[in-house]
Amino acid sequence: MRELQAVLQDWEAVIGLEVHTELTTLNTKMFCSCPIGFGAEPNTHVCPVCLGMPGALPVPNRAAIESIVLAGLATGCEIMKRSMFYRKNYFYPDMSKNFQTTQGPVAFCMGGNLDLEVSGNAAGERAVLAGTRPTVEEGGYLTSIGITRIHMEEDAGKMIHVGGTDGRISGAAYSLVDYNRCGTPLIELVTEPDLRTPAEARLFLQKLRQIYLTLAISDCSMEEGSLRCDGNVSLRPRGATELGTKTELKNMNSFKNLHDGLAYEICRQAEVLEGGGTVLQETRHWEPTAKRTISMRVKETADDYRLFPEPDLAPYDLTDEFIEAVRARLPELPDAKKRRYIELWGLPAADADNLAGQPGLSTFFDEALTLCDKARPIANLLLNEVSAHLNANGIALAKSGLTPQGIAELAALLADDTISSKQAKEVLSLMIESGKAPSLIVAEHGLQQVSDSDALEAIVLEVLAANPDKVAEYRGGKTGLLGFFVGQVMKMTKGQGNPRLINEILRKRLDN
């Protein structure tokens, strides 16, 4: 098979995504009051409603409707004042009623979009920039991805097929069903076929995840399946307007798998088409270890789900008051946050982007800013030292014992040259270890940096006097020796000398 980059020179890939997100931050299921949770004993979070016992009736969870409206408002969708639930009828044991309650032609949220800023390596996959706007960044571009709809539905239970081959129901000796997940509220976002590269698809999903996390509507864990993404992909020759036959790709349970699965599928389809074959409309399964997609089932005709309006649930009318109340709850979204960080606080674009995309970190950042306006040192601490520490130890910021107050104080100490950035790292690890305030740690460990220029000047003179030959060499043109002198001074200040001042004084003395 050819490489993706080469394939995309000849072919245009048309990609649409379907993103399922469990609303894990809710307390109860979509249509009953069973708790939502991951990892409970099988079939303990169930009741007559989610088990579909005869006579049980659904009652919609208002908080779930609020969550989907939040998602819609955050992605530029129109919130439909009147929408309906529908029944999607099919037989499978993971769905206790043998129909899934979902939505029909009109979903709660219709017709939105997300703008993507594609830069760096990711931009390289898009050979032709039609429909995009170049960004200031070299090789980067902006593109807008349409969102067809976001609708509400209920999740199915989980099945384990025992015996037989590759965990499938056919040929299994028996199957186990856990209905704990059955009835968990799920929102499904469907994009327009506006994505053109696997990198765009990955970026879209990352951005959507950041938004959902900022809205706090889901924990968006791809590992635990609370964020799931299927891709529809087809190819057409560059310049063509008609769509090719698409395949539906499943099991892409990480950003990397989404990218690699789509990339493989694009190359596979190109090979089929270039060999004179035809792409079959089918569902394919991405196998990350084998790095290939395999056919799950060929769709000869569309499935007939006998969709009709759910008669147990009246049409759902959203009032203006409800929509406005939800809008008032809308937090600052990653894009706006990023702009604020750049424009108001002067952060470099990459740092601003990085912070804005991590709701926990950015909230922490904003709180620290209310105590100390040294934005760049705070951002640097959070994105570098703090993040590295959290990642290395696998702990969440909230559980690290760090407080915005502590980080603000540390940044202030850095900014006014009380400590060096090297010392800051030391103080930070002591803060995490002891939970003590940075000023206390600095005082206890005598970590202040020496910024007294008279004292430093004396030490500099002492060092120069002790090394007359090196001074001569430096003055003879070997300016690289500056580092040697800095090191000597640092040694004498036990590492607490202010490097900036030391440099300044050394230059003054050596260059004259």
**How many residues bind to other proteins according to rule CB under 8 A?**
31
Confirm or reject binding of residue 479 to other proteins (CB under 8 A). Answer: no
- Minimum Å gap between C-beta 168 and other proteins is 12
Q: Where are the beta strands (DSSP E) in 267-391?
A: 282-287, 292-298, 308-309, 316-317
- Minimum Å gap between C-beta 247 and other proteins is 22
456: closest CA among 489, 422, 418? 489
Q: Which is nearer to other proteins, 242 or 304 (by Cβ)?
A: 304
Confirm or reject binding of residue 93 to other proteins (CB under 8 A). Answer: yes
Taking CA atoms, 146 is separated from 192, 275, 487, in Å, by 5, 33, 57
Q: Which is nearer to other proteins, 179 or 345 (by Cβ)?
A: 179
Residue type for 147, please? I
Selected from 1, 40, 57, 466, the binder of other proteins by CB under 8 A is 57
Distance in angstroms (rounded) separating the CA atoms of residues 459 and 470: 16
Token pair recorded at residue 404: 């915005």
Confirm or reject binding of residue 56 to other proteins (CB under 8 A). Answer: yes
Q: Are 184 and 36 in contact (CB under 8 A)?
A: yes
Selected from 51, 318, 323, 415, the binder of other proteins by CB under 8 A is 51
Residue 8 CA, distance from chain mean position? 26
Selected from 106, 129, 296, 313, the binder of other proteins by CB under 8 A is 313
Selected from 275, 311, 446, 477, the binder of other proteins by CB under 8 A is 311
- Minimum Å gap between C-beta 92 and other proteins is 9
Residues 6+ apart with CB under 8 A from 482: 474, 503, 506, 507, 510
Q: Which is nearer to other proteins, 167 or 346 (by Cβ)?
A: 167
Q: Which is nearer to other proteins, 106 or 397 (by Cβ)?
A: 106
Distance in angstroms (rounded) separating the CA atoms of residues 375 and 352: 11
Confirm or reject binding of residue 91 to other proteins (CB under 8 A). Answer: yes
Q: Which is nearer to other proteins, 170 or 391 (by Cβ)?
A: 170
Confirm or reject binding of residue 55 to other proteins (CB under 8 A). Answer: yes
Taking CA atoms, 336 is separated from 295, 342, 352, 355, in Å, by 42, 10, 10, 12
The interface with other proteins within residues 279-308 (CB under 8 A) comprises 302, 304, 306-308
Confirm or reject binding of residue 314 to other proteins (CB under 8 A). Answer: yes
Q: Which stretch binds other proteins (CB under 8 A): 12-20, 204-212, 309-317, 412-420?
A: 309-317
- Minimum Å gap between C-beta 437 and other proteins is 51
Give one DSSP letter per residue of 66-103, joined into a string: HHHHHHHHHTTPEEPSEE-EEEEE---TTSTTSEEEEE
- Minimum Å gap between C-beta 58 and other proteins is 8
Confirm or reject binding of residue 163 to other proteins (CB under 8 A). Answer: no
Taking CA atoms, 341 is separated from 136, 332, 335, 348, 409, in Å, by 18, 12, 10, 8, 20
429: closest CA among 445, 412, 453? 445
Distance in angstroms (rounded) separating the CA atoms of residues 378 and 383: 9
Q: Which stretch binds other proteins (CB under 8 A): 49-57, 215-223, 264-272, 281-289?
A: 49-57
Residues that bind other proteins (CB under 8 A): 48, 51-60, 87, 89, 91, 93, 96-99, 169-170, 177, 302, 304, 306-308, 311-314
